[in-house]
Structure 1
Amino acid sequence: MPKFATAINCIDGRTQVPVIEFLKQNYNVDFVDLITFPGVDGVLTSNRNDVIELIKRNVEISIKAHASNLVVISGHYDCAGNPVDENTHIKQILNAVEKIKQWGFDVEVKGLWIDENWKVKELKAGQ
């Protein structure tokens, strides 16, 4: 049976392949379900509850339909949908990780930062 992960990612096409490759290499997954929205790290730390509920519903579909046991939230350099500095992105990503954990799914939740070279770095709490 194939192993899935779920990536909540920006719509920016430059970020899709690096995130998928990172998850395949570091978490031994076969496929990555992508849930995309412009500047999604900022959205998940906002009061846009309609969008947040839609993202949550999509995560639930990925978990139930594909038995995904890993959810990642990412942000990236040069984001048009969330044009803030790197430190703000990282804080938003880490806050989004905590918010996603509160959704009550029995999955691992991680935060990822994609830098100016399109390299993916896993974030740690307190970073």
Structure 2
Amino acid sequence: MFVNRQGNKLTRFGVRYLLKKHIGAGARATRTLQEKRIHRHSLRHTTAIFLLKAGADFATISQWLGHSSLNTTITYARADIDLKRQALMQVFPEILAPPRAGHVSSTTINIVDWLKRL
């Protein structure tokens, strides 16, 4: 899918080189990038999360990433708080809905009791 400047398959060493090169350039422009630890696996993880958010199924993502087991791919879903929030919003939309501007609810929700009911 990706080739190097000789037209051959891009190796993991080539990916590492390009990533290091572009992160270095980005870190000079954006100081917060200097503090980040970004590696090749970060690209795989980020891609998997974006595919999940776009609605791709686990089997497709698993094949695309070359995982030997579907369980490996499912770990990406555990790591993403946005996916968890979306799942809870489908079940409890009134609890997790953002408050309306200028409106304070008179009913207080005990979050511990609510979590125990899950």
Task: Give the TM-score normalised by the residue count of structure 1.
Answer: 0.29
Which has the larger share of helix? 2
Which has the larger share of strand? 1
Which has the bigger relative contact order, CA under 8 A and spacing at least 6?
Answer: 1
Task: Give the TM-score normalised by the residue count of structure 2.
Answer: 0.30
Larger radius of gyration: 2
